[in-house]
Structure 1
Amino acid sequence: MGKIRHIAIQVPDLEKAAAFYENVFDLKRVGEAQSPIGNAISLSDGLVNLTLLHFPEGTKGGKGGPDWAGLHHIGFVVDDEAEADARIKKYGGEFFMQLEAHPGVDAEKKYKDVNGIVFDMAAHNWVQAVDE
């Protein structure tokens, strides 16, 4: 069974977006990354990870340029990656890419659903805030 544990939004200004979600919803900052594929700030409510992404000119992975904002992808945690991979393909999804490992970046597998929507699938959870 898969569980949604990660939502990634592309934004033009990481700090401005992070401050909004931290101040409005009390999300906790749990990680930051700068890499050749783009930059990120990860926030969490303790259950779901919200990663804000920014892709400066010349980086890969962004949609619509560095000023575009919107949903980039979602991520599912699964118990068995091989079984989930087989089910994805059986029902019309397809493998898209393996994300390269960079410091602070989760290296998960990316797929496309039957409509071409990108999602992550991993047996590990994304970084979450610890509920106190």
Structure 2
Amino acid sequence: MAKLRHVAIQVPDLERAASFYETALELERVAEATSPIGNAVMLSDGTVNLTLLNFPDGKGGQINGPDWAGIHHIGFVVDNEDATADKIKSEGGSFFLKIPDTYPGVDAESKFKDPFGVVFDVSEHPWTIVKKHKSQA
């Protein structure tokens, strides 16, 4: 069974959004990434990863322009990515793209679309959800 472990939200201001979720909901910042496809701040409650995304200069997967904020995609951890991909396709979903594992701080995963065009990730590895050790801070 797939486990929902990742929600990504596009925001116009990463630091403002991160500060809000850290303070108002006590999520912990666990990682940050600056990459050719966009920038991110990863937060966690210890089980689920909340990734805040920003796409400067229209990079990457920006939705509805730079000032738009909302759910960008969700992600599932699965036991077998290939078997899950086969099930997705047999149920009317389709492969969308693979995020490379060469971007610093970016969790590599495969992206799919459901029959309605909703984007979601599938990965055999969890997203960045563990607490940073003091030596990493």
Q: TM-score range by the shorter chain?
A: over 0.9
Kindly report the root-mean-square deviation, in angstroms, between the aligned alpha carbons of the 2 structures.
Answer: 0.8
Residues 28 and 129 in structure 1, CA contact (< 8 A), matched pair in contact too: no
Counterpart Cα distance in 2 of 1:58 and 1:51: 18
Shift of 1:36: 1.0
Tell me what 1:118 maps to: 119
Q: How many residues are paired up? A: 130
Shift of 1:40: 0.2
* 1:57 aligned counterpart, secondary structure: helix
Q: How does 1:93-132 map to 2 (within 5 A)?
A: 93-101=93-101, 102-130=103-131
Shift of 1:28: 0.4
Shift of 1:58: 3.8
Unaligned 5+ runs, structure 1: none
Deviations 1:76-105 (A, max 9, x none): 000011110110001000000011230000
Counterpart Cα distance in 1 of 2:70 and 2:118: 13
Tell me what 1:86 maps to: 86
Counterpart Cα distance in 1 of 2:21 and 2:58: 27
Is 2:18 the counterpart of 1:45? no
Shift of 1:43: 0.1
Q: How does 1:39-78 map to 2 (within 5 A)?
A: 39-78=39-78
Counterpart Cα distance in 2 of 1:15 and 1:73: 20
Residues 55 and 65 in structure 1, CA contact (< 8 A), matched pair in contact too: no
Identity within the alignment, % = 60
- With normalisation by structure 1, the TM-score equals 0.96
Residues 42 and 52 in structure 1, CA contact (< 8 A), matched pair in contact too: yes
Counterpart Cα distance in 2 of 1:60 and 1:46: 28
Residues 57 and 65 in structure 1, CA contact (< 8 A), matched pair in contact too: no
* 2:57 aligned counterpart, secondary structure: coil
* 1:105 aligned counterpart, secondary structure: coil
Tell me what 2:10 maps to: 10
- The amino acid of 1:42's aligned partner reads M
Deviations 1:101-121 (A, max 9, x none): 300001100000011000000
